[in-house]
Amino acid sequence: MTLHITANTAVCIGAGQCVMAAPDLFDQEEHGTVIVLEDEVPADELALVREAAYLCPSRAITYTETSAT
């Protein structure tokens, strides 16, 4: 199982909670907008991804579980 992470930069307000929660997965560009560093991660990182998505005040981070092929 793999997690596919997406971040909606149109609604990101640059709060940075995602970066604090999961610095290996997210970064911010110059003006604060989120950058997804790793958009495919193993399912064992679900707790981290879930926390980042939960903490995001603008609900910009979403993820789906996909079966690895």
Identify which of residues 3 and 61 has a Cβ nearer to ligand SF4 in the complex. 61
Q: Looking up tokens 């950058």, which residue turns up?
A: 35
DSSP string, the chain: -EEEEEE-TTT-----HHHHH-TTTEEE-TTS-EEES-SEEEGGGHHHHHHHHHH-TT--EEEEEE---
Q: Which of 5, 25, 41, 56 binds ligand SF4 (CB under 6 A)?
A: 56
Q: Is 48 in the site for ligand SF4 (CB under 6 A)?
A: no
Identify which of residues 30 and 69 has a Cβ nearer to ligand SF4 in the complex. 30
Residue window 1-40: x/- pattern of binding to ligand SF4, with contact defined by CB under 6 A: ------x----xxxxxxx---------x-----x------
